[in-house]
Amino acid sequence: MAGSTPSDWLIFWVVAGARFLLPLLIPRYPLPGILASLVLDGVDQTIFQQFTGLALEGYQGYDKALDIYYLTIAYISTLRNWANGFAFQVSRFLFYWRLVGVVLFELTHLRWLLLVFPNTFEYFFIYCEAYGLCWDPERMSRRHLVGGAVAIWILIKLPQEYWIHIAQIDTTDWIKTSLFKVPVHMPWGEIVRAWPAVFVVALVAVILVLIAIWLLVARRLPPPDRTPAFSADTYQPEWTTAQVRNAVTSEASRIVDAALLEKIALVSLVSLIFAQVLPGVRANNLQLVLGVAFLVAVNTVLSHLWARRGFGWVFTLVQFVVFLSINLALILAYALLRSRVEAPVSIANVVFFALLLSLLVTLFDRYHQVYLMRFGPIGPAAVSSA
């Protein structure tokens, strides 16, 4: 890209790498992980504008795809961490509702679809994880959960989706041009130096509002059930050897089941979103879905065979490496055959899709076993009642 420097690209790849790696903290540290991913999502373009000379006209498409990536990791983590069965079902609906909406938007470019399919899942996830810091999530009744989801949907996400996707207003640009009356390209450092009192007053106002909200809400909250802990493992059950073995056996007993169908749907939808923004993707949507379904089915057969060997992070890491190797080999074989009759396939895309598919399938399989230990016939029933 003309005018770019090595330092510009260093900053770009550091930020892009962080956007891929930070979400991997979500399964173990759900609240800090998703908040860090959310903040980075909100400031990445500002960082590029402030510290690089990169134009990045097409980055918005990548940005939306990376949003889906970290939300997918967050959803998969609920299989591992959430003990309230009804909360999990609500989150599953909200996640797939948004996922379908983004796919439809990428295929049609109708912006109003993002208003109809708002990203309520993200804030619902944060809401439930924040509650779980001090209170037992199983105390959350169905009325409580549905009410929280509806409030987030209507009061927070609909205005936000309209502002971003229908009005197409960039908040940072709007603040610069409408409030400070300065050009969009003016660095924030110069704005802060020109109006320091405004930023001090704004910071104090935000702190006071947060304190007021906390004092108001704290009066209605029940006494805490437990000491706050950011690690999801702090209050996880101690699974018995029998429960682990039975969950693994149950997982490996059938190849074609609801879990396989969900994995195919999940990875296909995520892959379709990335396929719309990655340059050089030559497979059409039907070919992509069929290819993903085939690879997920192959990975599932291997996963069920592998599950009998053990359960733990060592096995999971080896499983990921094996999946990645097999997926790379299969996709490269397809790419070589396709290149004989059509234009060559991008190797970068091949590697990316193999990494994405292998990661999502590995995480899903591992955490679905935890889900079976908690909610399956061999685990304690944990679905909360109203």
Q: Are residues 230 and 293 in the same domain?
A: no
Pair (222, 255) in one structural domain: no
205 and 352 belong to one structural domain: no
Answer whether residue 83 is part of any domain.
Answer: yes
Q: What is the pLDDT of residue 113?
A: 93
Residues 228 and 371 in one domain: no
Give how far Cα 70 sits from Cα of 41, 124, 311, 356, Å. 10, 14, 25, 12
In-domain check, residue 305: yes
Whether residues 15 and 85 share a domain: the answer is yes
Instruction: Assess if residue 386 is contained within a domain.
Output: no
Give me the pLDDT at residue 3, please.
57
Does one domain contain both 331 and 185? no
Residue 382 has a pLDDT of 37
- Give the model's pLDDT for residue 250: 67
What confidence score (pLDDT) does residue 97 get? 97
Are 119 and 267 members of one domain? no
Judgement on whether residues 347 and 247 belong to the same structural domain of the protein: yes
Q: Which of 203, 236, 269 is the last residue of a domain?
A: 236
Report pLDDT for 259: 86
Residue 382 belongs to some domain of the structure? no
pLDDT at 50: 77
Per the domain annotation, does 218 fall within a domain?
yes
Q: What residues in the chain have per-residue pLDDT under 50?
A: 1-2, 381-386
Let me know if residue 363 belongs to a domain: yes
Q: Give residue 332's identity as a one-letter amino acid code.
A: L
Residue in this structure with the two tokens 């390209």, named with its chain if needed: 185
Q: Which of 201, 236, 271 is where one domain is finished?
A: 236
Q: Are residues 225 and 349 in the same domain?
A: no
Cα radius of gyration (the chain): 23
User: 188, 216, 236 — which closes off a domain?
Assistant: 236
Same domain, 129 and 58: yes
Contacts of 289 (CB under 8 A, 6+ apart): 268, 271, 272
Instruction: Name every residue whose Cβ is closer than 8 Å to that of residue 271 and which is 6 or more positions away in sequence.
Output: 288, 289, 292, 353, 356, 357
Residue 309 confidence (pLDDT): 61
**Would 384 be classed as within a structural domain?**
no
270 and 186 belong to one structural domain: no
Query: Residue 47: what residue type?
Result: I
How many structural domains compose the chain?
Answer: 2
Structure tokens at 258: 């609801």
User: Domain limits at 361?
Assistant: 238-377
Cα distance between residue 302 and residue 300, in whole Å: 5
Are 162 and 309 part of one and the same domain?
no
pLDDT of residue 239: 75
Q: Is residue 269 part of a domain?
A: yes
Torsions phi, psi of 377, nearest 5? -65, -15
Name the DSSP class of 344.
Answer: P
